[in-house]
Amino acid sequence: MQKIKVAIIGSGNIGTDLMIKILRMSDILEMAAMVGIDPESDGLARAKRMGVATTHKGITGLIDMPEWEDIKIIFDATSVKAHHYNWKYVQQYPDKRIIDLTPAAIGPYLVPPVNFDSNMDVKNVNMVTCGGQATIPMVAAVNRIAKVHYGEIVASIASKSAGPGTRANIDEFTETTANAIEKVGGADKGKAIIVLNPADPPLVMRDTVFTLSEQADREVVRESIHQMVAEVQKYVPGYSLHQEVQFEDIPEDSPVFIEGLGYRHGLKTTVLLKVRGAGHYLPEYAGNLDIMTSAALATGEKLCQLQKHLA
One domain, residues 188 and 252: yes
Mean per-residue pLDDT, 288-295: 96
CA 285, distance to chain mean position in Å, is: 17
Q: Is 60 in the same domain as 29?
A: yes
What average pLDDT does range 5-34 have in this prediction? Answer: 97
Q: Do residues 167 and 296 share a domain?
A: no
- Co-location of 157 and 297 in the same domain: no
Q: Give the rounded percent of residues in the chain with a pLDDT score beyond 70.
A: 98
236, HSE (Cβ side, Cα atoms, 13 Å): 35
184-207 confidence digits (pLDDT tens): 999 999 999 999 999 999 999 999
CATH code of 34's domain: 3.40.50.720
Q: What is the DSSP string of 258-300?
A: ETTTEEE-EEEEEEEEEE----SSS-TT-HHHHHHHHHHHHHH
141 and 275 within one domain? yes
> What range defines the domain where residue 19 resides?
4-127+291-309
Tens digits of residue pLDDT in 66-117: 999 999 999 999 999 999 999 999 999 999 999 999 999 999 999 999 999 8
Split at pLDDT 50, 70, 90, the class of 165 is: confident
Do 268 and 181 have their domain in common? yes
Average pLDDT over residues 219-247: 98
For residue 222, give Cα distances in angstroms to 17, 39, 203, 240: 33, 50, 27, 14
* Amino acid 311: pLDDT: 45
The model's confidence at residue 307, banded by pLDDT at 50, 70 and 90, is low
Q: What percent of the chain has pLDDT over 90?
A: 92
Length of the chain counted residue by residue: 311
- Contact between 36 and 44 under an 8 Å Cβ cutoff? The reply is yes
Structurally, the chain folds into a number of domains equal to 2
Band of pLDDT at residue 40, cut at 50, 70 and 90: very high
Per-residue pLDDT at 280: 92
* pLDDT for res 1: 64
CA distances from 254 to 188, 250, 264 (A): 20, 7, 9
What pLDDT, on the 0 to 100 scale, is given for residue 120? 79
Catalytically active residues are 130
Mean pLDDT within 118-135? 93
Note whether 107 and 96 are same-domain residues: yes
| pLDDT, the chain, mean | 95
Do 21 and 134 have their domain in common?
no
| Separation of alpha carbons 243 and 143, rounded Å | 20
CATH number at residue 219: 3.30.360.10
92 and 8 co-located in one domain: yes
* Separation between Cα atoms, residue 125 and residue 7, nearest integer Å: 15
pLDDT beyond 50 at 310: no
Q: What is the mean pLDDT of residues 209-216?
A: 98
Does the model's pTM come out above 0.75?
yes
User: Are 136 and 277 within one domain?
Assistant: yes
- Is the confidence at residue 242, as pLDDT, over 70? yes
DSSP secondary structure string for all residues of 113-138:
HHHSGGGTT-SEEE---HHHHHHHHH
Examine the domain organization and report whether 83 and 183 are in the same domain: no
Domain identity same for 144 and 255: yes
SS3 state at 31: strand
What's the gap between Cα 248 and its chain centre? Answer: 29
Q: Which residues lie across from 258 on neighbouring strands?
A: 262
The β-bridge partners of 274 are 206, 240
